Amino acid sequence: MRKSAVIVCLLVALTISLSRVAGAASAPVKIRFPYSPISWNSLPWWMAKDGGFFEKHGLDVDLFYEGASSAIVQAMLAGEANFAGLAGPSIVSNVVNGGDVIQIAAVVKTFTIPMYAQASIKEVSQLKGQKVAVSRFGSISHIAALNIFQKSNVTGVTLIQSGGTPESAAALMSGVVAAAMVPPPQSLMLREKGFRELVSVKQFREWNIPVVENGVAARRSFIDKNPGVARRFIRAAFEGIRAVYTDKEQALKVLGKYTKLSDDKILQESYRFSVEALSKDGLMPAEAFTALLEQMVSQKSVDEATSKKLPITAYFDNRFVNDLDKEGFFKKLWQ
């Protein structure tokens, strides 16, 4: 009898132990995810979080706003995060300087920061000899402005660094600058006050400039060891994007929650930008990184000699998006 009781106790203990092991094995992967900006650009992460898509794929994602892309990259290199929501110059400069933060998926593949100007200015050519505000030198707004002047064959413009989008809008309203790169929600305010949208998102799309304006960034050292986690994150993010397109009511609710905005006009404008710009696939064009690198070299924001030693694929990795595409994920998602 005593022997039977011992056996039963051992079996119970073994069952509990196996249950704990199984529970640990199925526990969601914790991910700290810094992102920028607090605008419609970040809607894929917000929708994936609030829609339960991260949880669905076994990810416990802690979203938090970090601010400047350069600050996010530094936090990642310090080991504070392995994934982030960002793209652009910060990715390139960190790789050139020996960092391992790269792009693994694109969620916005067009410039989406319109240029607003004083009502008297009707053409980009009128900005010659004038001041134009961008948020920061080396930022996406800066690169977008440079592309506008290049496409319009306009030289002699003085770009000034305002410090941020609200500051750029304020500089335009005060008359300090003739034009400024200003996205929603500030762009709606400018339009209502009579400022002219000189270059729109529609114009950027028509120019078809290769660019990755926002996307999923990751540490190469982490994703090489955890490729499954990278695929699951991208899967959840794009399920979030699909929800943006298919559930406007929820998207507006989520926009209001994270941006702390309640003005329906601003929320509707932000939603319009999101469905015009969010990509339905995550593939990153190599030419986008080539063009960005060339511009950064010309601005002397990265060392040309060092950059020439690196292949263009040093800045991004399409393998996870390609894996999902081969298994039919994107096709099924948008059926």
Determine how β-strand 115-117 pairs with β-strand 196-199.
Answer: antiparallel
d(C-alpha 49, C-alpha 3), whole Å:
52
User: Positive or negative CA dihedral for 263, 266, 272, 276?
Assistant: negative
* Ordered domains of the chain (ranges, CATH): 29-110+211-333 (3.40.190.10), 115-207 (3.40.190.10)
Q: What is the 3-state secondary structure (H, E, C) of 253-278?
A: HHHHHHHCCCCHHHHHHHHHHHHHHE
pLDDT tens over the chain, length 335 residues:
455 544 444 444 444 443 333 333 469 999 999 998 888 989 999 999 999 999 999 999 999 998 778 889 999 999 999 999 999 889 999 999 999 999 999 999 999 999 999 999 999 999 999 999 999 887 889 999 999 999 999 999 999 999 888 899 999 999 999 999 998 878 888 999 999 999 998 899 899 899 999 999 999 999 999 999 999 999 999 999 999 999 999 999 999 999 998 999 989 989 998 998 999 999 999 999 999 999 899 888 899 999 999 999 999 999 999 999 999 999 999 99
Q: Dig out the tokens for 41 from the structure.
A: 């650009």
pLDDT of residue 67: 75
Report which secondary-structure segment, H or E, holds 158.
strand 158-161
d(C-alpha 310, C-alpha 187), whole Å:
38
pLDDT of residue 109: 93
Tracing tokens 């290049």 back to the chain, one arrives at 150
Q: Which residues lie below 8 Å from residue 184, measured CB to CB, with a gap of 6+?
A: 39, 40, 266, 269, 270, 273
In this prediction the pTM is 0.83
pLDDT of residue 131: 98
Report which secondary-structure segment, H or E, holds 93.
helix 89-96
Q: Helix 286-298 crosses helix 89-96 at what angle (to 10 degrees)?
A: 70
